[in-house]
Structure 1
Amino acid sequence: MTTHTKLGSKGRKAVYAAMIAGLLGATALTGTISHAGTQATKTDISLNTAPASGFADLVENVMPSVVSVQSKFTPVATGNEDGARDQRRQFQFGFPQGSPFEQFFRNQPGRNGGAMPHPRRRNGTSQGSGFIISEDGYAVTNNHVIKGASEVSLKFSDGREFDAKVIGADPKTDLALLKIDSKDKFTPVKFASDKPRVGDWVVAVGNPFGLGGTVTTGIISASGRDIGAGPYDNFLQIDAPINRGNSGGPAFNLKGEVVGINTAIFSPSGGSVGIGFAIPASTAEDIIADLKDDGNVTRGWLGVQIQKVSEDIASSIGLDEPTGTLVAAVTDGSPAEKSGLRTGDTILKVNGADIKGPKELSRAVAKIKPGTSVDMTVFRDGKQRDIKVSIGEMPGEKQASLNSERDSGPAADQKLGLALAPAEDGEGVVVADVMPGSPAAEQGIRQGDVILEVDGAFVDQPDAAVAAIRQSSARSGKSPVLLLVKNDRGQRFVALKIAKG
C-alpha cells in the first residue's frame, strides 16, 4: 500500500500496463497451444518432453476416440433407494464410505450453493466420460457412471450418438465395458505398454459438467495411491484438472496412449484442486480383457483375513522389520487351509516377489489364474519357510478381508485396562469393558471383542487369559504381547504393549 501511494500517475500506468501485458501474454500462450499443429508430428512426441508447438496434434489424434457417456435411470420413488445409492451418491466426485478422504466430501456445496445434487434426481440421468478401444465399438468407462442405468448412450465429438450395451462391470476396480450397437467403424486408442513415471505429462480428455470434448494437461504427481475405494487400490495421482463428468475418461501420455482412467478427485471445495486419481492402464487392461471374454472378472483367491505388520507386531513375532502381511484368520476349506497356511503366519513373498503389506498381497493373488500353484515364503515360529499354494477362484463377492490398520503407540498406562468374561460358546474370552486411555483402548480393543489367543496359546477363561498376558509381558520384557482378537469384522492381531509395574 505504501509503495502504491508513492507512485505517480505515470508510474501507476506503467505498472498496470505491465500487468495487462502479462495477462495477455498468458492468453496468447494458451492460444498458441490450442491452435498449433503444423510443425510437430506424432513421431516427434516423447513421453517426457512437451511439444514446443503444444498438444493440439495429440488432441486431434485422440479426440475421435473419446466419448461422453449418458446414463438414464428408471425413476426412483421418494424414500429408501436401492443398494446403488451408497456408491452412486459419490457420483464422479469423492470416495466410498469409510475412505480416509470421506471427511472432505461431507456437506459440500454444489455449483449453486446447496448440497451436491444426487445424480438420480437430476431428471433421471447422469453423465460421465469414456473411450473407444476397438474398431467395432467397445468402450471403457467407470462402473459408477453406468451402475443401475436402464439406458446408456455414447456421444462423440463430431455429434454422433449411439446406444450402448453394458457388457460387464467390476465394482472392485470401478471399471465397466460397453459395446456400441452399430456396424460403423470407430477410431480406437490403446492402453500404454510402458509404465508411467512420476513427472510424466498427461493429457485428460472428457465431459466435465456436460461440456464434452474438454482437454486439460498436467503431470503424474504420484503413483500407488490407496484412497480406500476398494481392495485393489493402486491409483495414479494426476494434477491435470478433472471435475464431475470426467469419470471414466482417459488420461493420455504424449504418444496418445491411455495411461489411466480418471475416477475420483480430492476436493474440499467440490471442484478441482489439482489432485485427481486415475486407474492405471496396467490394471484396466487386464480387467477389461476379462470383462470382454465373458462379462465377469475371475480373480485368484487365497482365503485368508490379513492385516498390516506394525513395528510392535514385528517385534513380538521376531521379525527384524515390519514387512509382509500377517494372516489373522484362515477360511475353512480355502486354498490357504489346504496348503497348510496358519493363523499367525506372515507372508513375505509370492513367487519370489516381496510382499510389503496387505494391498500387495491382495493384488498379487487376484492376478493369479485360479488353479495355478505358487510358492509363498512365510515367517513362522521365528523361521522362514516355503509353502506351495494352489490358488482358488474367488467365490462370488468374497475377497481377502483387510482389517483396520491401527498404528501401535507407546503405552501410557501400567494396567491392562480390560475386564474379561467367558464366551458363551467357549471360544476365547469376551471383553466386557475397556478402561479409557489404557493400552487396550489405544490399540482399538472394544467392548464385545473376543480374545482367542495370547502369544499363540488358546485361552477360554478370563483368569487364564489375564495370567497368560501378565506372564508373557514379564517374560518378554519390552516386547508387546500378541493377542488374536475377533469381532464382527473378522479377526486381527493386536500387539499390546504393557509397561512393567
Structure 2
Amino acid sequence: MFRHLFITFVLLFGCVWPVAAQEKQVPQSKVQIDLSFAPVVKSAAPSVVNVYAIKIAAQRQSVFNDPFFDRFFGQDSPFFEQRPRKSQSLGSGVIVDRSGIILTNHHVVEGAQDIRISLADGQEFHTELVLADEKTDLAVLKVKNPPADGFVELPFATDESLEVGDLVLAIGNPFGVGQTVTSGIVSALARTGVGVSDFQFFIQTDAAINPGNSGGALVNMRGELVGINTAIYSRSGGSNGIGFAIPSSMAKFIATAGINGGEIVRPWLGARLQAVSSDLAAGLLLGPPRGALITDVYPGGPAEIAGLQSGDVILEVDGRRIEDPGAFEYRFSTQPIGDQVQLYVARGGDAIEINLPLIPLDASLDGDQLMLQQAGRFSGAYVADIGPAAIEEFGLPYNFSGVIIKALADNSPAQRLGLREGDIILALNGTEIRDVRQLEKIVQQRVNSWRLTVRRGNQVINSFVSG
C-alpha cells in the first residue's frame, strides 16, 4: 500500500529530487510564484554599492572639556577652539557604466568631502563627485582608480512598459546592515506631490524601502534598472509599504550628463503652465480635466516659435499622455537638446499637432553684468540684468525688469549693507531700476540716505540706509 501511495504522489506532483537540480527561473505566472527571484538578484546585485559620504565640519569645543567652564566662560572665550567634527551619511548607489560611473541621490552626498563606495563583495573605492543636481535629487560619482576589467553595470530599462502591478525588487543597504533585497509591486506611476525634488514624477512601490536604501536600485524582472530609490513615506522612519523611486528615464538623462562632462543642459519651454480643473475643462471644451494649460508665453521663446498660445492645453508629448504640468515638465526635461518633440494640443475645441524645438536657454539673453565699484554703500555687488534664466528660476512675470545680485565680495560695503545673493533690486529712492547701467549711474550719486526696495524670495522689503 505504501508503494502504491508513493507512485501516486510521484505521478501527481513529479519527482522531488530533480526539482532542486533544475535551474531557477523568474516567476512568469501564478503557478510559478513558488520559484525564485535569485536569477534577477544575481545579475543586478553586483552593480549596487554602498555609499559612504564623509563630512567634516568645524565645531567650537572647550580646551578643558569641562561643562562648568563651558557654561561660565561661553563659546566666545579664548578657552574655546575650532576642532574638526567628522560625520558620515550612509546610502546606496548603482553602477551604470563599466568605467565606474555611479548614480546615487544628491541628499546622500551633499556637503561631503570624501565619498567612498563598497561593492557587495567588500571591495572599497574612492570616488569623485562629477555631477550634483538638487533639482532631481540625483548625483553622479566616478571611481578614481577603477580595476582594469571594469565593473558590472546595471542596464537601464529600454522602454517605459512598466505598469501598476508589475513585480519589482529594491536593492540597497538599509540601516547600514549590508546589501538587502526586498520585493513588491509597482503601486502607482507618475506620482506627484512627494516633495523630494523639483520634478514630481515618481514610481510608487510597496517594496520595503528604509533609510540607507536611498540611491539604490529598483529593478524589473528582466534585471533592468527602472528607478533609483529615493524616499519613503513614513511617520516612524521605517518602511510602511509606501516608497518612491525616480524613473530610469530621468536617471539615465543625469547619468549621461555625468559621463559627458558633468554639465546638465535642459531644453527651455518659454511658457507658463497650470493644471486643468473641472471648470476650466468645461470652458475649454475638453472632456475629463487633464493636461497642462499654457497661461503665458515668453516673447521669442521656443513655445512662441513653435506656435503655442495662451489657452492651449498640452495633452500628449510624443504620444505619451499628459495628466498635469508635472508630467509635462518631466517628459519635456528628459528630452535631448537639438531634436524636437511632437505635442498634441487642444485649442478652442480643436486638436492640433505642434512640433516644439528642443533648444537650451541662451545665457546671452540675460543682458549686462558688472561689478559695482566706487559705488558707495553698494560697492562689491556683482549685479546682472533680469533675463529669461532669472525669470524662470524665480517665477517672475515675463515682462519683468530689474537687477539681480549674482554675488557679493566678502566684507564689502554691499555685504555689510545687508544685501544677499539672489536679491532683486526693484527701486532706489523711488526710481524703478530697469537694468544694471541705470543702477550704476544712480548708486554713484551722493545722497544722505537711500530708500531701497528689494525683492527677496516672495517678499518685497523696503529699508532706509545712510548714504
The answer to whether the superposition gives a TM-score over 0.5 is yes
Q: Give 1:244 deviation, angstroms.
A: 0.7
Cα deviation code 1:295-330 (max 9, x no counterpart): 122222111110011111122344344233211222
CA–CA distance in structure 2, aligned partners of residues 239 and 233 of structure 1: 19
Q: Partner of 1:63 in structure 2?
A: 45
1:150 equivalent to 2:113? Answer: yes
1:81-140 CA-partner distances (Å, limit 9, x unpaired): xxxxxxxxxxxxxxxxxxxxxxxxxxxxxxxxxxxxxxxx99421110012223322222
Question: In the alignment, is residue 210 of structure 1 matched against residue 188 of structure 2?
Answer: no
Give the letter for the 2:47 counterpart. Answer: S
What is the CA deviation profile of residues 168-214 of structure 1, one whole-angstrom value per residue up to 9, with x for unaligned ones? 23322222221112241322222233533322322222111111212
- Amino acid aligned to 1:153: R
1:419 is aligned to: none
Distance 2:318 2:221 in 1: 34
Q: What amino acid is the match of 2:49?
A: V
Q: TM-score, normalised by structure 1?
A: 0.58
User: What residue is the counterpart of 1:124 in the other structure?
Assistant: 87
What is the Cα deviation at residue 237 of structure 1?
1.4
Q: 1:221 aligns with which of 184, 187, 192?
A: 187
Gapped runs of 5+ residues in structure 2? 1-18, 61-83, 364-388, 396-400, 402-456, 459-467
Identity of matched residues, %: 40
2:229 maps to which residue? 262
Comparing 52-61 with 184-193, greater Cα deviation is found at 52-61
What is the CA RMSD across the aligned residues, in angstroms?
A: 3.4
Does 2:122 match 1:141? no
**Do 1:168 and 1:296's aligned partners in 2 also have CA atoms closer than 8 Å?**
yes
Partner deviation per Cα, 1:127-179 (whole Å, 9 max, x = no partner): 10012223322222112111221110001232221101112233222222211
1:203-243, CA deviations, whole angstroms, 9 ceiling, x for partnerless residues?
22211111121222222222221123334332221112111
Match of 2:158 in 1: 193
Displacement, 1:373? 4.2
Q: Distance in 2 between matches of 1:176 and 1:61?
A: 23
1:307 counterpart residue number: 274
Return the alpha-carbon distance in structure 1 between the equivalents of residues 244 and 266 of structure 2: 24
Number of residue pairs aligned between Structure 1 and Structure 2: 329
Match of 1:167, SS state, is: strand
The question of whether the paired residues in 1 share the 8 Å contact of 2:201 and 2:330 is answered with no
**Does the 8 Å CA contact 2:190/2:327 hold for their aligned counterparts?**
no
The 1-side partners of 2:319 and 2:221 are apart by 34
Counterpart for residue 295 of structure 1 = 262
Q: Which has the higher contact order (CA 8 A, sep 6+)?
A: 1
Distance change (3 Å), C-alpha of 1:180 and 1:338: same
Q: Which amino acid aligns with 2:223?
A: G
d(CA) in 2 for partners of 1:47 and 1:70?
37
| Counterpart contact for 2:50–2:117, Cα < 8 Å | yes
Could you tell me whether the CA contact under 8 Å between 1:169 and 1:296 is conserved in 2? no
Aligned-pair distance for 1:48? 5.9
Change (3 A) 1:353 1:255: closer
Q: TM-score, normalised by structure 2?
A: 0.62
- Shift of the 388–188 alpha-carbon distance from structure 1 to 2, 3 Å rule, reads closer
Kindly tell me: are residues 358 and 70 of structure 1, through their superposed partners in 2, closer, same or farther at Cα, counting changes over 3 Å?
A: same
**Paired letter, 1:392:** I
**What does residue range 3-152 of structure 1 map to in structure 2 within 5 Å?**
39=21, 41=23, 44-46=25-27, 52-75=34-57, 123-152=86-115
2:453 paired residue number: none
